[in-house]
Amino acid sequence: MRKIPLDIVGLQPSMTQTHNYAVVLGERNGNRRLPIIIGGFEAQAIAVAVERMMPNRPLTHDLFKNALDTFNIDLHEVIISNLLDGVFYARLICYKDGIPHEIDSRTSDALAMAVRFNCPIYTYEFILEAAGVVLEDDESNRKQGSDRGAKVESKAVDSHAAMTNLSSDELNKKLQEALGSEDYEQAARIRDELNRRKG
């Protein structure tokens, strides 16, 4: 299968799950976004590496990187390889003495390691088709998240009950508003409702 490169483009608190965060991955050569809900500790591990902060003592992911470096194991790439029942699965592709090894990983941990090793992140088309949201390239979506009106309005469809009362056209409009205000978690919920209707 063709691998699609992704970049980490955002990390924001979850509005519906206390202490959780949404890490947003962007398609490098496209306009799709892949939001993934992760825990607070995992979000911190990613943020520390992205911001190039130096904790006094190594965090768990720093320790793992140090161990791999000590034994001359290179993390070559991270692949978000599957999506089952709403759960993302990932693999670390490591090389030791030129021989590749695959290690199963939680996606949040894999992303924290990818940032530390500065290695590429990939996924497959079927995952972006199932869980990605599309950023349409129009003027409304080029606005920054300061457009509070769109953000407030998009939150009006937070509950599943509210979404079921909207037509597909209305949901698509709400989806674009959520994307325009960079509310990727809301966009993911709307996307899931649209996918449910498609059967």
Answer yes or no: do 125 and 180 share one domain.
no
Domain shared by 178 and 97, yes or no: no
For residues 74 and 126, membership in a common domain is answered with yes
Shared domain check, 126 and 45: yes
Cβ-based neighbour number of residue 36 at 10 Å: 21
Are 49 and 123 in the same domain? yes
Q: Specify whether 120 is located in the same domain as 157.
A: no
Q: Does residue 78 contact residue 113 with C-beta atoms inside 8 Å? A: yes
Regarding whether 94 and 159 lie in a shared domain, the answer is no
> Per the structure, how many domains does the chain have?
2
In this structure, are 26 and 114 located in the same domain?
A: yes
Instruction: Say what the pLDDT of residue 175 is.
Output: 78
pLDDT digits (tens, 9 = 90+) for 33-91: 999 999 988 998 998 888 888 777 888 999 999 999 999 999 999 999 999 988 999 99
Read off the pLDDT band of 182 (50, 70, 90): low
pLDDT, greater one: 16 or 160: 16
**Domain of 152, in residue numbers:** 138-198
The rounded distance, in Å, linking the Cα atoms of 61 and 63 is 5
Mean pLDDT of 123-141: 79
Q: What is the pLDDT of residue 154?
A: 32
Structure confidence at residue 20 as a pLDDT band (50, 70, 90)? confident
One DSSP character per residue, 22-74 reads: EEEEEETTSSEEEEEEEEHHHHHHHHHHHTT---SS--HHHHHHHHHHHTTEE
116 Cβ neighbours under 8 A, 6+ residues apart: 49, 61, 62, 65
Top pLDDT among 159 and 55 is at 55
- Residue 188: which pLDDT band, with cuts at 50, 70 and 90? confident
pTM of the model as a whole: 0.70
Rg (CA), the chain: 18
Mean of the per-residue pLDDT values of the chain: 82
> What is the pLDDT confidence band of residue 184, given thresholds at 50, 70 and 90?
low
Q: CA–CA separation, 63 vs 22, rounded Å?
A: 24
Higher-pLDDT residue of 147, 134: 134
Give the CA-trace dihedral at 112, 6, 80, 118, to 10 degrees: -40
**Statement to judge: residues 92 and 173 lie in one domain:** no
- pLDDT recorded at residue 66: 95
Do residues 11 and 50 both lie within one domain? Answer: yes
Do 16 and 188 contact (CB within 8 A), yes or no? no
d(CA 39, CA 46): 11
Per-residue burial over 105-120, b if 16 or more Cβ lie within 10 Å, else e, is bebbbbbbbbbbbebb
Q: How confident is the model at residue 138 (pLDDT cuts 50, 70, 90)?
A: very low
**Which domain-ending residue is among 103, 131, 159?**
131
Band of residue 146 on the pLDDT scale cut at 50, 70, 90: very low
Domain end (from 107, 131, 155):
131
